[in-house]
Structure 1
Amino acid sequence: MEVLIADDHDLVRETLAAFLTGQGGIEVETVENLDLACERIKANGSFDLVLLDYTMPGMNGLEGLHRAMDMNDGKPVAIMSGTAPKSVAQEALDAGAVGFLPKTLPAKSLVNAIRFMAAGETYVPVAFMTAEEEVEVNPIAKKLSEREMQVLSGLCRGMSNKEIARELDLQEVTIKLHVKTLTNKLEARNRTHAAMIAKEAGLF
């Protein structure tokens, strides 16, 4: 069985390759980005399984998946990731991937999954797909009302009170009050400082 692993993290590539090769009967080739993966498929001919890291260079979301699928002549292509949520896993499966592997998967499960996918079966861990995703609320967002958040978004985009009022279909005087309230809540000196605090907190 020939497997191509494409991942921009040296340690991930080397660890996976060493582990799979050690199982016997699996030949592994590794590359660090999508372009090299496509070149390797072209030079080698199709692989029994191509495993792509979702966030490596060249992927552009699921565009890279389609490219690799076209190159691999109908043979299985799967996605792996350490950060992508289950919505991305579902999109990948819907787009034709034969599986989605979280990088947290135990080594033994990983080998079983790779054999499974190379045989043309679809694999995605049930526990991963059914887990409740924790939505972290930004500490700043907790302090502000929904309307204040909308006004703050306008401030971050450099809009005037009049422009924000037009966008939200409110009176300019109402926006002025919201700006005053939210700057107080954020302990900001002025509207520019409030926007700076929001941006530094990664809110917008």
Structure 2
Amino acid sequence: MKVLIADDHDLLRDMLVQFLENEGSFQTVAVGTFDEAAARIEADAPYDLILLDYNMPGMNGLDGLKAAIAFGDGHRVALMSGEASKKIAEDALKAGAAGFIPKSLPAKSLINAIKFMAMGEQYAPIDFMTAIEKTPANPLADKLTERELQVLKGLTEGKSNKQIARDLEIQEPTVKLHMKTLYRKVGAANRTQAAMIAREAGLF
């Protein structure tokens, strides 16, 4: 089976290649950006499966997935992510993805999922898709909307406004508006202070 892996995290990408090639039945190609993946898809013979990281450079979330699917030529495209929500996974499947793989999957389950998708089936882990997403019970969280919490989480992870906008599929000016509001609500003067307040409150 021929698999293209596109992920900007070098360690994870190398581990995936090693896991698959140790199986003996996989031929892998690995790249770090969506543009590199698109070039390989265009130049190479059809892949049995293409794995795209939801947050890598050039991906633009589900837009990248849809673009890769539209390339055609028999390629099956799946999404993988360590941060995407159940809603994103559902939207990916509706858009025609071969499946959705959380990066938290154990290695053996990951290999089996890739085999399953490469053989023409659609895959998504039941426990992930049926999990109830809950907002943490926290006094600070009660002050914020769901979107403000998502922006604040991005701040605590050291992400730029552009990265947060990409992750949440919203415009950068919208991120700035949410930040201004959440600063006021949590009593912060800037992004660093807001992140510290969230950490100290045990919010993330």
Calculate the TM-score normalised by the size of structure 1.
0.71
Residues 73-112 of structure 1: matches in 2 within 5 Å?
Answer: 73-112=73-112
> Following the alignment from structure 1 to structure 2, what is the Cα–Cα distance between the partners of residues 109 and 155?
39
1:30-109 equivalent positions in 2, closer than 5 A: 30-109=30-109
Paired position in structure 1 for 2:164: none
Given that 2:188 and 2:194 are in contact with CA atoms closer than 8 Å, whether structure 1 keeps it comes out as no
Tell me the SS of whatever aligns to 2:66.
helix
1:196 alignment counterpart:
189
How far is the alpha carbon of 1:48 from its aligned partner?
Answer: 0.6
Counterpart contact for 2:113–2:123, Cα < 8 Å: yes
Q: Which whole-Å CA distance do the structure 1 matches of 2:120 and 2:194 have between them?
A: 45
User: How far apart, in 1, do the equivalents of 2:179 and 2:49 lie?
Assistant: 49
CA contact (8 A) 1:33 1:56 kept: yes
* Residue segments in structure 1 that go unaligned for 5+ positions in a row: 145-152, 158-182, 187-193
Deviation at 1:142, TM superposition (A): 3.4
Q: 1:18 & 1:97 partners in 2: Cα distance?
A: 24
- C-alpha separation in 1, matches of 2:142 and 2:28: 48
TM-score w.r.t. the length of structure 2 is: 0.71
Q: Report percent identity of matched pairs.
A: 52
Structure ID, larger Rg: 1
Q: CA deviation at 1:198?
A: 8.8
How much has 1:71 moved relative to structure 2? 2.1
1:160-199 aligned within 5 A: 194=187, 196=189
Q: What secondary structure is seen at the aligned counterpart in 2 of 1:201?
A: helix
Distance 1:196 1:133, change over 3 A: same
In structure 2, the residue matched to 1:189 is none
| Cα RMSD, aligned residues only | 2.7
Paired residues, number: 162
Task: Read off the aligned partner of 1:156 and give its amino acid letter.
Answer: K
Structure 2: distance between partners of 1:54 and 1:195: 31
Structure 2 unaligned segments of length 5 or more: list them: 145-176, 199-204
Q: Secondary structure at the match of 1:22?
A: helix
Aligned to 2:25: 25
Secondary structure of residue in 2 paired with 1:3 = strand
TM superposition outliers: structure 1 runs of 4+ over 3 Å? 137-144, 153-157, 197-200
Mapped partners of 2:138, 2:73: distance in 1: 45
* 1:154 to 1:115, Cα distance in 2 relative to 1, 3 A: closer
Could you tell me how far 1:134 is from its partner in structure 2?
2.6
Deviations 1:87-140 (A, max 9, x none): 110010011101000001111111111111011100000001111213136643
Post-superposition offset of 1:154 = 9.7
Question: Is 1:156 equivalent to 2:180 in the alignment?
Answer: yes
Q: Which amino acid aligns with 2:91?
A: E
- Residues 140-181 of structure 1, C-alpha deviations (whole Å, 9 max, x = no match): 35369xxxxxxxx89936xxxxxxxxxxxxxxxxxxxxxxxx
